[in-house]
Structure 1
């Protein structure tokens, strides 16, 4: 448990371990393709071997002891043994590794079929976990939309790869399809084109096709639904400020608790009054929905091309990431001049200032404090300005 806690706290160590696990799964899938390419269906007859296929098998089984060692240590590092045994990932690990232990010591069973291509699903899980560690290591986070698209693409690739490898092997007893023909059949089937020029001939491969289609009809619509939901929520919240735009164009972030026309127009008129700031973009980050009057103002051509409204809070790192605070030229945190309780408003402003400075310490921060005695709490900000409306 201490070792596991160390790997979780240390992002780079965790990333290296997950990267090694992913590379191992990917290597086994690649070696399976090599074996299928060099193998001959006639070698299923006992006593019939070829030198090229034997070399592929030797390279293939050389990874087996290391995989089995990782599987055995997983039970010791992940807590409850029975809970881990009945996990799908552990069952796949044992299906793909235990038969190789037998073939190492019993040569006549070298021709036994082991569905090692199922490691692609384990590689998919390792890649998803590795992506989270990679974001933590580089201190950047992609949006939930990006992660969902990435998961969907990986799921499609795993379905096609599993179907191609499974059909190719089962068809050795029938039409003897090549791996490319099986891959072509899966692409044509999943795309619902259905030319019919390549078809499985025996019932096990036909049953596998039925199972894959049923799995695709259940899994893919759920992921498409999640993707559509995230897209609708992203559009509702104003989307994201593009990372490419943030790196190629200059922008500032305006954080407010509530956006009114007078506050918005005062800021825009004063900000764009300087000729050197005409090329800057203003990204507004506000937790409330956009007001109808403010929406009309932002639809004016003078502001529609230079002002971007995002619904979000400066207290959330995900919203600060959406506004690309770490690439901003400056951040302005303002309060409404009509606040009744100015002390409470300053407290909210200070909290937003702390959150923004913690997320992007190199971004200049300009804070509006309504009561001068509260200025002390934001002196850490490096560049500090006190805005007062007369």
Structure 2
């Protein structure tokens, strides 16, 4: 009796927690892919808008109109000219951005201090809180605020937005694309921070424009160093030293990760070209472990038909290519027609590499000599579900070893049970009955098209 009551209490508490107001907000703003993408896109827009408004404020500012006394030179770093309409736009965008970030932090589970001490939240506070103070104290409305640091918040929002975009459209880019995007955005943020920082500090020195600061940063970071434009006062010189040290630490790490991903991708076979996928016909062979007998049976059966001579075969296998498979794929008959990619059909990134959505068909085969045939069918079923979810329009040809497992892949276009065809096809001297049947079905399907 006590056990039953305890179970009921747990179920009621779980039900109540799932229907709280916070859980409903989390379900809409975080777990819902499309709404989360819209909110993050709006947040990214606010960050970029704040940077653009900072540039506009700099273009409208003219410190040369003031007398150049010592006190004014010092005040040039602390105070700026900020028109009232521009100030109102900056206040609105930054307060909205701060509220949106705080709202997301409240919805996320975790320690409060961990959320507060995060670098993005600290940058939000540095940018937005002084503007809130200017609303309360109009006398400090022209106080300089480093709004250009929002470029780093825009970079952080862009990375989150790309992740939500992948989830919303049920597609994903490769890790190489994501790393290149991070590298480019990091470089842009470093340059933008250095440009805006030097331009502002040099208001009390050379009075450089944004273009002059851009020219100096490009010349400096490219190690050319013409020396015709240089910072004159020590704060701007210190900023240049800091930014160079940061670049020497951050950029090599990014390049190292990019080079590592490039070598790993080349080691795993790279990508099948999108241009080739759209201009030439190819099929994808998905296997959990590529045995030499399975490979030979498939290639012999596949390229034995004249209608399939112009097809390419992309092999997607999670294991590394062994010596026997490598020797077979070096045979001139198949060297230019067979492409080996190391990857799993359970990962969207690997399916994207094989251009599964453009393939003429996908063969999911199992080795007929498997000892544990039920385990082999379970792997086949999982791969079939993953491929169907990623590329629903790609014809799916599945080989099942046990007849009772055919029910789990009934969504496939063609399903062949190896045990059902075994004795009938062996009487016709067919070496690999299931593979031969699936390839014949592919030929009839392509002929119908």
Q: TM-score, normalised by structure 1?
A: 0.91
SS at match of 1:314: coil
- Taking the TM superposition and a 5 Å limit, the aligned residue runs for 1:242-261 are 242-261=273-292
- Taking the TM superposition and a 5 Å limit, the aligned residue runs for 1:1-390 are 1-2=22-23, 3-42=25-64, 53-74=83-104, 76-79=106-109, 80-386=111-417, 388=422, 389=432
The 1:71–1:144 alpha-carbon spacing in structure 2 relative to 1, beyond 3 Å, is closer
8 Å CA contact 1:39, 1:53 repeated in 2 = no
The 1:107–1:269 alpha-carbon spacing in structure 2 relative to 1, beyond 3 Å, is same
8 Å CA contact 2:281, 2:311 repeated in 1 = yes
8 Å CA contact 2:166, 2:172 repeated in 1 = yes
8 Å CA contact 1:64, 1:101 repeated in 2 = no
8 Å CA contact 2:399, 2:415 repeated in 1 = no
Q: Show CA shifts across 1:48-90 (max 9, x none).
A: x999955544443443442343355355334543322211111
**Cα displacement (A) at 1:334:** 1.7
The 1:87–1:339 alpha-carbon spacing in structure 2 relative to 1, beyond 3 Å, is closer
SS at match of 1:177: coil
Q: Show CA shifts across 1:224-274 (max 9, x none).
A: 111111112112211222334333432211012332333223322322233
**Cα displacement (A) at 1:107:** 3.7
Q: Show CA shifts across 1:22-44 (max 9, x none).
A: 00010010011111011111467
The 1:294–1:173 alpha-carbon spacing in structure 2 relative to 1, beyond 3 Å, is same
The 1:374–1:81 alpha-carbon spacing in structure 2 relative to 1, beyond 3 Å, is closer
Q: Show CA shifts across 1:99-141 (max 9, x none).
A: 1123234444233111000000000000000000111111110
- Aligned-residue CA RMSD in angstroms? 2.5
The 1:344–1:105 alpha-carbon spacing in structure 2 relative to 1, beyond 3 Å, is closer
In 2: Cα distance, 1:145 partner to 1:251 partner: 24
In 1: Cα distance, 2:196 partner to 2:373 partner: 68
In 2: Cα distance, 1:304 partner to 1:81 partner: 58
- Structure 1 gaps, min length 5: none
Segment of structure 1 superposing worse, 222-231 or 275-284:
275-284
In 1: Cα distance, 2:364 partner to 2:80 partner: 73
8 Å CA contact 2:363, 2:397 repeated in 1 = yes
In 1: Cα distance, 2:100 partner to 2:65 partner: 31
In 2: Cα distance, 1:56 partner to 1:71 partner: 23
8 Å CA contact 1:164, 1:182 repeated in 2 = yes
Q: Show CA shifts across 1:359-388 (max 9, x none).
A: 333322212233445434433323324465
SS at match of 1:363: coil
Count of aligned pairs: 388
In 2: Cα distance, 1:38 partner to 1:141 partner: 42
8 Å CA contact 2:80, 2:143 repeated in 1 = no
In 2: Cα distance, 1:61 partner to 1:385 partner: 66
In 2: Cα distance, 1:363 partner to 1:163 partner: 50
In 2: Cα distance, 1:98 partner to 1:43 partner: 30
